[in-house]
Amino acid sequence: MNILPRSAFGQTVFLIGFILLLNQIVSYYSVVSYIIEPSYQQINNLLAKQVKVLFIADEREFKISADLSKRYLEATDISILDQQQAEQQGLKEAEFYPYFSSQMSKQLGGKAEVRLSQGDVFYFWVRPPQAPHIWIKVPLDGFKKKDLSPLLIYLIAIGIVSVTGGWFFARQLNRPLKSLQHAAEEVGRGEFPDKIKENGSEEIVAVTRAFNHMSQGIQQLEKDRNFIMAGVSHDLRTPLTRIRLATEMMADTESFLREGIVNDIEDMNAIIDQFMEYIRHHRMEELNRMDLNGLVQDVAESEQINRERHFELNLDISLPQVMIRPIAIKRVISNLIENALRYSEGDILITSYSVPEQKAVSFEVSDSGPGIPEQDMHRLFEPFTQGDAARGVEGSGLGLAIIKKIVDMHGGDVTLLNRKEGGLTARVTLPISGQ
């Protein structure tokens, strides 16, 4: 499992955050090692020297007296207390500090205990090894407990500010790339967006400028292709119409020849219609939120007229409405039904259902024909590609290409599946939100 982000934005923020974290760790330990710890050691040494003053004489003869405690308090503000007195003056509320205790033990040459308490004044409580039955209470003016961790607060604040700044910088850096991604996806679906603004770093500006040139070139090629196909269509239909009129004037004795010519002309017109349908820009039609079942029923009823075939509709009545271009989707349904009628002789099954996990809906057109080899299914969506002999070789090979182009334009997906009981299922999935 890859825990690193995959986007350029995420990687930039991660890199800034990681470098900052290393810097903060090094800074923290450097300050602790070279500033805070020496300061604590100095405080501990001073306290140890204060305690040693009490034991200039032999510590085995050391006895606490009220007079000694009073004079020592007056001279140094340091209290010498027995256990009971110490507890009465706040020893129980004092917090044990292992670091100061270990340092004090080294200074005094035995096991010492150090506690810290905070009230109006910060106090160090020391139980010396020379006299474990007493506590020495040392006030430290200007030393407060909250001052023990200002560095940590500072580093956290600097870290938050730095990561926020890095996030903003990465967002500004990658915003042009996001616009470029959306524009490329639109061009891939056959839509040509407005010219992208050229901003950002020099490299991104250069890529954006190149993309704008490419998009304009593709758009011009699309216009030229449409113009050429429209001209070819017009130039071909005119002589075909004259040939059709001429054949109608042929003698009845040549009726078999006339029928053959008429059928060829109709096939040529159908092929020209498919060419024009393939290059047609369906995005000219507006998106509408519609009931897909209604479109399926309309197309099925019109296709069943004058046909001796049975259509079985199994439609989900709770199907949510989808954002579609109705004429284009009708073309998809009609082409799928036409393929099923052409390559099979049994009933045609049409189903629809919801796909909640994908926030989409699907419909299927199934026949009982010979099916298609698995290795050929993907290439059949390419223009001018026909199936094998089992499915026939009629047409121009643009039917499935037109279907895929329209479905892709809606942000959907079309797949072909061989049925276990025999035949082929064409499944179309469309997002509810549309494209």
DSSP states along 156-220 = HHHHHHHHHHHHHHHHHHHHHHHHHHHHHHHHHTT--PPPPP--SSHHHHHHHHHHHHHHHHHHH
Residues 28 and 104 both lie in one domain? yes
Q: How far apart are CA 412 and CA 431, in angstroms?
A: 6
Reference 113, options 135, 139, 92; nearest CA is 135
| pTM listed for this prediction | 0.49
Residues 6+ apart with CB under 8 A from 412: 360, 428, 429, 430, 431
What's residue 427's pLDDT? 94
**Identity of the amino acid at 117:** S
Tokens of 19: 């470098």
Buried residues in 388-423 as b, exposed as e (16+ CB within 10 A): eeebeeebbbbbbbbbbbbbbbbbbbbebbeeeeeb
Q: Which residues pair with 431 in a beta bridge?
A: 360
Question: Is 174 within a domain?
Answer: no
b/e map of 311-325 (b: 16 or more CB within 10 Å)?
beeebeeebeebbbb
pLDDT at 429: 94
Tell which residue, 134, 123, 117, has the closest CA to residue 83: 134
- Looking at residue 281, its pLDDT comes to 54
> What's the number of CA atoms in the CB half-sphere (13 Å) around residue 400?
22
- Domain final position from 280, 315, 330: 280
Q: Which amino acid is at 244?
A: R
pLDDT of the residue at 360: 92
pLDDT of residue 382: 77
- As given in the structure block, the two tokens for residue 63 are 């006895």
φ/ψ (deg, to 5) at 132: -65, -5
398 and 358 share a domain? yes
Average pLDDT per block of 10 residues along the chain, 435 residues long:
63 74 76 70 76 64 62 74 83 83 83 82 83 82 54 72 75 77 76 78 80 82 70 72 78 75 76 67 73 91 82 91 89 89 88 91 91 82 60 58 85 90 91 77
Is residue 181 situated within a structural domain? no
- Same-domain check for residues 307 and 397: yes
The answer to whether residue 167 sits within a structural domain is no
Give the end of a domain, one of 256, 280, 304: 280
- Which of 255, 280, 305 delimits the end of a domain? 280
DSSP state of 32: I
Residue with tokens 């205790």: 101
Range of the domain at 40: 8-151
> Residue 164 falls within a domain, yes or no?
no
CA distance 432 to 322: 4
Other CB atoms within 10 A of residue 200 CB: 19
Within this chain, do residues 422 and 303 fall inside the same structural domain, yes or no? yes
Identity at 356, one-letter amino acid code = P
| Range list of H helices, 119-149 | none
Residue entry with tokens 């998809």: 332
Amino acid occupying residue 361: V
Among 96, 94, 65, residue whose Cα is nearest residue 80: 65
350 φ, ψ to 5°?
-120, 125
Residue 264, number of CB atoms within 10 A of its CB: 13
Looking at the fold, whether 263 and 348 belong to one and the same domain comes out as no
Is residue 163 domain-resident? no
Rounded CA separation 268/262 (Å): 10
Specify the DSSP class assigned to residue 357.
G
Q: Is residue 45 part of a domain?
A: yes
Residue 222 sits in the same domain as residue 238: yes
Same domain flag for 311 and 275:
no
Q: Please report whether residue 418 resides in a domain.
A: yes
Are 274 and 314 found together in one domain?
A: no
As for how many domains the chain has, the answer is: 3
Residues 354 and 331 placed together within one structural domain of the fold: yes
Judgement on whether residues 233 and 292 belong to the same structural domain of the protein: no
Domain of residue 326, CATH code: 3.30.565.10
Same-domain status, 300 and 274: no
In a domain, 175, yes or no: no
- Which of helix, strand or coil describes residue 117? strand
In a shared domain, residues 301 and 393: yes
Lookup: tokens for 164: 């926020």
In degrees and rounded to multiples of 5, residue 129 shows phi and psi of -70, -25
The answer to whether the CB of 137 falls within 8 A of the CB of 116 is: no
Single out the residue of 50, 34, 37 nearest to residue 112, CA to CA.
50
